[in-house]
Structure 1
Amino acid sequence: MRYNPHNVSREIGPDGLEHMYVNGTLAIRIFVIFALAYVMSYAFRAINAVIAQPLVAELGLSASQLGFLASAYFLSFAVMQLPVGVMLDRYGPRRVEAVLIGFAALGAVLFAVAESYAVLWLGRALIGVGVSACLMAAVKAYSLYFRPHMQASLSSWMLVAGSMGALTVTTPVEAALPFLGWRGVFGVAAVLCVLAGLALWFVLPKLFKPQKTESVGDMAQGYRAIYAHPHFWRVAPLAMITQGGFMAFHGLWVGPWFTNVIGLSNAQAAQNMFWISAVLMAGYLALGFLTRRVSKAGGDEDQIMLIGMGLSLVVFAVQIVQGAQSGLWGWLVHAFLISSGIMTYATCNKPFPKKLTGRSSTALNLLIFIGAFSIQWGIGLGIDAFVAAGFTSTDAMRLSLAALWVVQLGSWLWYARPGRKTSHLISLSDLRY
């Protein structure tokens, strides 16, 4: 796809180097296409919360089996992050994401036709592989072609698009289940993945030239510098446990919370999940505008993340304590506040030079999805263990979530400890690896 050169400008960036920035309709096209692909990624992440009840009814899965099946997405997604980072920095976001999303289409087909738990798990894992670059490819593209003060806002607006994916798999999917079944839903998803891949390959402009000045091995060594940096390890626990924990809960266990703990029907639960996703989307949208204003005014936008995630922990604790008496409003407030967690990506990238942004983002994403995989499966294991110990299923879920809350609080305190601002000022312009 060719582009109008008037939509591209070359300017001297904050690092003193010349950078190419996109403008006008080209900027809108790049954002929209990456956002539409990310809709699929988020939809796949959240869909198990809606289909959990019919899936368990048809296959007779235990809580731990359901958690392990759902978390196969997070496991394969996590495994892909380091190679995805190298590929993004070497081959560019358009090529990488367009090829990978084909694996998501294949995984959706396998899930739709599966007759055994093993094939279901494989299909779910392939979906994770296929959408593993959807957000990181967009973050890489934005770091390459959009001005620095737009970075946090663009990341937030991407999550607005992702939340639209979550919205489509709540009430709409619940309404479609009697006609399509969960297998038909995944068949439709496979077709949408193919269409997204075609748009990425043929509609996005070819702005990025493959970087061949470094070998793949040398590029992989960049992860050593990233993982050795103290700022990375200040942000990583918060992202891994709190952001990853919300992904695990919102992607599966929020549905059983409404049906098993509160006693709602599957349709009522889906309706509640629709509103949670809608409020989450509103949170991302508000965050995008707020961080842009704070950043342009010279303020510390990371304070927004710190306060938002801290308050979300307070609300989460109240919901756990209330248990069966908890209401939808509490989860809506929690979703709005936890949206600030998306800022962990932009915060983590701050000390690193532009040539490492693909790898620094995926280095963090690896840990987030390891956290989401471990927590999503771990909640199921915890529920089964507490039930075996004699607790009711309601108390078993509350206790599992309470254990999660304790480690989330620890991760927030680790990030909030004195010296946080100093770590943001470390420069790696003389990075060597």
Structure 2
Amino acid sequence: MVKGFVWLTLAYGLSQFYRACLAVFAPVLDAEINLGADQISTALGLWFLAFAAMQIPVGWLLDHKSPRVTAAVLLSLGGGGGAIIFGLAQSAWSIYAAMILIGIGCSPVLMTSLYIFARLAPRERFGTLVGLVLGLGSLGNVAASAPLSFALATIGWRGSMFVLAAATAVVAIAILRFVADPPRLVRDQTAPKAGLGDLMRIAPLYPILLIAMVSYAPGAGLRGSWIGGYLSEVYGLDAGQIGNATIYMAFAMIVGSLAFGPIDRVIKSRKVIIAGSGIATLGSLVLLWMGAGTWPVAATVLLFMSVGFFTASYPQIMNQGRTLLPENLMGRGVTMINLFSIGGVGLFQIVTARLFARTQLATDVVVAPYGTVFVTFAVALAIGLVVYILNRR
């Protein structure tokens, strides 16, 4: 079990790397294949949408087939294959196709861990275990910052992606070898089969799905694509400086994941935890928007770090949702919550990319399109918080 935990955490680290590497690749992709900031955001959005679209079939596979095989096969074919296509890319469409494949490949990794925890771990340990996987796995986010900048300067972006393809294949093989599936559930053959319709009839799940959709999107979106272009175009930072800034935000997200995992042992109300983190995120987004282009670089990076830290409340969102799920719908239930969380990131990346491009056409002020991105995230989060807080169920 320990070896399986290690390899699943490494796989989640790869998933974090893939969703964060575009921020560092942005300047060189723009220079070599003319990939602009809005196209970078679209590529990341497609990764998240592909990832989200796979959650329903992944949930079914977790409930009915082998979680180990599901994770290994999809990671090797989608993740490894997508990384190779990325390394060979000559246009925006090649990058889009690669990111879709990589999103499919990464889609079962975290859910395999959560499914095993939900089936085997004590309820009071679930949030801590999820936070541990998220925190340690988020070192992949760190690797996609300053270390990636070093690799970029040493072997180029194509060479970096080919190395990643090989690493992905190794991790997939290790998952197949070392991860153990939980015991199969004994199903009552006379009882009616539970399906997606039964899951959607759990009414108290809806506000949790909504807050999941809007709470992680700002941190993942800003770290994954917008921070690189913003610091480059508005503040004139080079690739090395952008790498340093992104590593600070990545560490903030790691610390957040580790902190939010066991925090329900101190603050007993998960609703207070989730709402409080959302309000803190909202405040940071509003400050970024109001002071866009005028804050000193250090203050701007601190605000990005604040967004990264407080959007790491995912373990408690998943923990609260898990308490509503029956055992026979656990796989599909946790993947449904993850679908809204990851799908929200993909949706808002596409939306912010379109709004960014429109604002860019309407004004010559370099900072204005980025202000539009910040306020879009803020408005969506505010709406989600109002619904979540006011819903007593």
Distance 1:210 1:188 in 2: 39
Is residue 91 of structure 1 aligned with residue 80 of structure 2? no
Task: Give the distance between the partners of 2:389 and 2:141, measured in 1 at CA.
Answer: 30
For 1:294, which of 258, 266, 271 is the aligned residue? Answer: 266
- Count of aligned residue pairs for this structure pair: 387
Moved more, 330-339 or 193-202: 330-339
The one of 72, 75, 81 equivalent to 2:55 is: 81
- Map residues 223-372 of structure 1 onto 2, 5 A cutoff: 223-291=196-264, 293-294=265-266, 299-326=268-295, 327=299, 328-372=301-345
How much does 1:321 deviate? 1.0
Deviation at 1:53, TM superposition (A): 1.0
SS at match of 2:142: helix
Q: Could you tell which deviates more after superposition, 127-136 or 89-98?
A: 89-98
Task: Report the equivalent of 1:154.
Answer: 129
The structure-2 alpha-carbon separation of the partners of 1:150 and 1:397, relative to structure 1 and needing over 3 Å to count, comes to same
**Does residue 1:203 correspond to 2:175, yes or no?**
no
Q: Which residue of 1 aligns with 2:149?
A: 174
Paired amino acid for 2:14: M
Q: How does 1:183-194 map to 2 (within 5 A)?
A: 183-194=158-169
Residues 41-74 of structure 1: per-residue CA shift (max 9 Å, x gap): 1110111111011111111123332222222211
**Percent identity (aligned):** 24
Instruction: Could you tell me which runs of 5 or more consecutive residues in structure 2 were left unpaired when the two chains were aligned.
Output: none
Q: Find the aligned partners of 1:126 and 1:278 in 2 and give their Cα distance.
A: 27
Shift of 1:324: 1.6
Q: For residues 107-134 of structure 1, what are the alpha-carbon distances to aligned partners after superposition, in whole Å with 9 as ceiling and x for unaligned?
A: 1111111223333221211101101011
Q: TM-score, structure 1 length as denominator?
A: 0.84
Displacement, 1:200? 0.8
Q: Residue 108 of structure 1 contacts residue 186 of structure 1 at CA under 8 Å; is this kept in 2?
A: yes
Question: Is 1:394 matched with 2:337?
Answer: no
Q: What's the Cα RMSD here?
A: 2.0
Shift of 1:195: 1.1
In 2, are the aligned partners of 1:100 and 1:130 still within 8 Å (CA)?
yes
* C-alpha displacement of 1:391: 4.7
Question: Of the candidates 31, 35, 57, which is equivalent to residue 5 of structure 2?
Answer: 31
Larger deviation, residues 104-113 vs 335-344: 335-344
Do the aligned residues in 2 keep the contact of 1:91 with 1:211 (CA within 8 Å)?
A: no
SS of the equivalent of 2:107 reads coil
**In structure 1, C-alpha distance between the alignment counterparts of 2:31 and 2:200, rounded to whole Å:** 44
The alpha-carbon deviation at position 174 of structure 1 amounts to 0.3
Whole-angstrom distance in 1 between the partners of 2:59 and 2:185: 14
Contact 1:279–1:336, Cα closer than 8 Å, also in 2: yes
Are 1:245 and 1:371, in contact at CA under 8 Å, matched by a contact in 2?
A: no
Cα deviation for residue 339 of structure 1 reads 1.5
Contact 2:285 2:378 in 1 (8 A): yes
CA–CA distance in structure 2, aligned partners of residues 134 and 182 of structure 1: 25
Shift of 1:403: 2.2
Superposed CA offset, 1:116-155 (max 9, x none)? 3333221211101101011111100101121111111111
Change over 3 Å in CA distance of 1:315–1:118 after alignment to 2 = closer
In the other structure, the counterpart of 1:48 is 22
Distance in 2, matches of 1:342 and 1:245, equals 16
Taking structure 1 as reference, are residues 209 and 147 closer, same or farther at Cα in structure 2, changes over 3 Å only? Answer: same
Counterpart CA distance in 1 for 2:180 and 2:340 is 31
1:124 paired residue number: 99
Aligned residue number for residue 111 of structure 2: 136
Superposition deviation, residue 87 in structure 1:
0.2
What per-residue deviation string (whole Å, max 9, x for no partner) do you get for residues 153-207 of structure 1?
1111111023200000100010111221111111111111111111111112354
TM-superposed CA distance for 1:398, in Å, is 0.4
The 8 Å contact of residues 78 and 367 in structure 1, kept in 2 or not, is answered as yes
- Alignment TM-score, normalising by the size of structure 2: 0.93
Equivalent residue letter for 1:283: G
Alignment partners' CA distance in 2, 1:411 and 1:397: 22
